[in-house]
Chain A
Amino acid sequence: MSFETFVTDKTGLQKFYEAIIEKNETYAPVEKFGNFDFKRITRLSECNPESPIEKTRSIKPLFFPRSAKVMKYVATSAGTEIAETDKDPLAGKRVIIGAKHCDARALQVLDKVYSWDYIDTDFRNRRQNTVIVSTRCDKAAIHCFCTSLDYDVETLDAMDVLIVNGIDGKIYIRAKTEKGNAFLKNFPTIHDSQLPENEAAPALKAQYEAFAATFRLQMNYREVNEKLSKVFDSPEFESLSSNCISCNTCAFVCPTCHCFKISDEKVKDTGVRYKSYDSCNNGYFTLMAGGHNPRPAKYRRWRQRALHKFVYYKERFGENLCVGCGKCTFACPVNISIFEVVNQVSDTAM
């Protein structure tokens, strides 16, 4: 099913963004220390909706925050009293602009795990109340491989509104979901410029083809999935992980990693319990009470990370947990590439 497409130019897009920011609680990539992180903005000049891929952090923290309050408690001599926390600050109606399509896709993948045996109501509410406006990239960065994974970047409907910088210099704004379609109806300024489908489709296709031709990394994900499911005992993991320093950066910037830890902030008898990110690359991640650690060696943790992305999640939910955004590789201090690792390991499979 296709929705309406509108055509505009650079100033029109700027006006569109300004109208969004004026009417809605808006989040966008804001530069800080040379990095772009998604923050609440009130003016378009604070952000850069077309921030460089390699320096932009994912939109995941807006749905699964880096630290969320779970509860508050007060310990008295009569027992412990548990209080509900304050209202969820991320639950309101809001719009994200400048999201990358791989980030949007990552949320689609995460939906499966968050509505599986237990429905995470916080995550669901945040998802339902958010409109994602995404700009399709013009050029792949050096570690990107989104076109090689099990979703079609061209027809992806993970974002509600897609913005495409056409190769003809025009800018196309297209609704991708019902929510996005209804959202675009609030902006009469772009409405005069509606484009019929037979004109819009070729323009979007041309941009996609130009974009898809810029990828350095390409692989066959089906082959990788199949081969990786047989390499659990591969000695290759040990040599490939030898230069990993277990710094956790990859998991913290990953748009699909969803492991967390629980910790308490205590002041005398009162405390706040937090749910924060954790990483399977941590040596103590699987440490149990009593001292047993099933994954004491680095290669076992690396294997868990690679196989969770490309085998376990696929077996359980039918999709790869990796969306090919390359964020882990950009952030890695020793430049380990997950693409390289999974391909080299799967090459050793029989």
Chain B
Amino acid sequence: MDYTKQIREIATKLFTEEKIDVFVGYRTTGFDENQVPVIITGLEEIPKLIFNDKSVFNLTNYLKQEHTRNKRVGLIVKGCDSRSLNLLLTENQVKREKLFVIGIACEGVCDDEGNKMQHCTECMFPDAVVFDEMVGTTHDARLYQVNADVRELASKSLVERREYFETVFESCIRCNACRHSCPLCYCAKCVIDQETSTLYHGANTTSSAFHALMTWSLHLAGRCVDCRNCESACPMNLPLHLLHKQNESVIYENFQEHMAGVVEGDRGAFYKYSMKDPDDFIM
């Protein structure tokens, strides 16, 4: 998957026709295969742009950063990224008319070792669902798969699972990089940032990490698009996707096969009411 040529052509067109002020894309680090997101402001920087299977980071995160605020933005989105963009649009965080979206029919991105990343092998929507221009060959519909790690963990006993998650929360260093790297965490003051409270405090204890991560994952339940920005940001390599994918599978099963951000204007499982919602917990 290498769409560098197409991306550069479209970006050139956008800047020449003065349709955008800034363009958010990827560039190489210059010495290895990894890529650095880059916000370019003019035609002269277009040769920096690149797109291939190492373009991992979800760029919709930059829509909440000050360098794109109140500007007309050109943006590259893969399948998962486009779903988070869809949610940002639905939640009135960005204006559609200010964006020019290059949708990618994504073949999956690679990790440091060059293997296809796990969430790409299980991806249900590889093609961008919101775009102004599409790049690549679109895919046929795919079936939902429960995440392999979630399935494996579900087969273990409750005690084993508790022990496993205890080591996860114990290893957390509370840097909050997961939250900052998440495109859907845009609150001006986050609930887990409180300095004095019973549940949430800044200290790096197992209990505070538990409360912070669980609250965070529940705020993303029915919204997480599985882009794995949080995991790539985590300095301790914690398996954060387990929390999100578990939520996702429960919601998929119980709320009419809901997947976050696929339908434009869909507010998500927890924000709408349907007669088909499960009610067997009501007496």
Contacts and interface: CB of A to CB of B under 8 A. Distances in A.
Interface stretch (A28-36, A168-176, A178-186): A28-36
Contacts of B203: 67, 263, 265, 274, 276
A214 to B, nearest CB: 14
Contact of A57 (B34, B233, B235): B235
Interface in B26-85: 29, 31-32, 34-39, 57, 61-62, 65-67
B233 A249 contact: yes
Contact of B236 (A33, A242, A333): A33
A249 B36 contact: no
Contacts of B198: 265-267
A16 to B, nearest CB: 29
A33 B160 CA distance: 17
Nearest to B180: A247
Interface in B96-143: none
B204 A277 contact: yes
B150 interface: no
Contacts of A253: 235
A127 interface: no
Given A142-B32, A264-B196, A265-B208, A247 B57 contact: no
A316 to B, nearest CB: 26
Contacts of B237: 33-35
Contacts of A266: 196-198, 201
B254 interface: no
B16 interface: no
Given A66-B204, A263-B195, A243 B39 contact: yes
Interface residues of A, number: 41
A220 interface: no
Contacts of B174: 66-67, 276-277
A35 B175 contact: no
B239 interface: yes
Contacts of A129: none
Interface residues on B, range: 35 or more
Interface string A33-76: 11101000000000000000000010000000011000000000
Given A252-B175, A277-B175, A297-B66, A216 B31 contact: yes
Given A247-B233, A264-B201, A333-B232, A252 B181 contact: no
A32 B202 contact: no
A109 to B, nearest CB: 21
A242 B39 contact: yes
Contact of A32 (B35, B167, B195, B207): B167
Contacts, number: 121
Contact of A247 (B38, B175, B195, B208): B175
A333 B181 contact: yes
B200 to A, nearest CB: 9
B243 interface: no
Given A264-B196, A264-B201, A243 B62 contact: yes
A265 B194 CA distance: 10
B177 A248 contact: yes
Contacts of B31: 142, 216
A335 B36 contact: yes
A336 interface: yes
Interface string B208-240: 100000000000000000000100110111110
A72 to B, nearest CB: 13
A229 interface: no
A254 B154 CA distance: 36
B28 to A, nearest CB: 10
A172 to B, nearest CB: 32
A334 interface: yes
Contacts of A149: none
B65 A274 contact: no
Interface string A235-253: 0000000110111110111
Contacts of A337: 29
A242 B235 CA distance: 21
A23 interface: no
A222 interface: no
A262 B203 CA distance: 8
A37 B167 CA distance: 13
A139 interface: no
A295 interface: no
B173 A252 contact: yes
Interface string A333-348: 1111100000000000
Given A37-B236, A247-B177, 16 more contacts: A32-B236, A33-B168, A57-B235, A66-B174, A243-B37, A245-B233, A246-B180, A247-B176, A249-B177, A265-B198, A276-B202, A297-B66, A298-B67, A333-B177, A334-B57, A335-B36
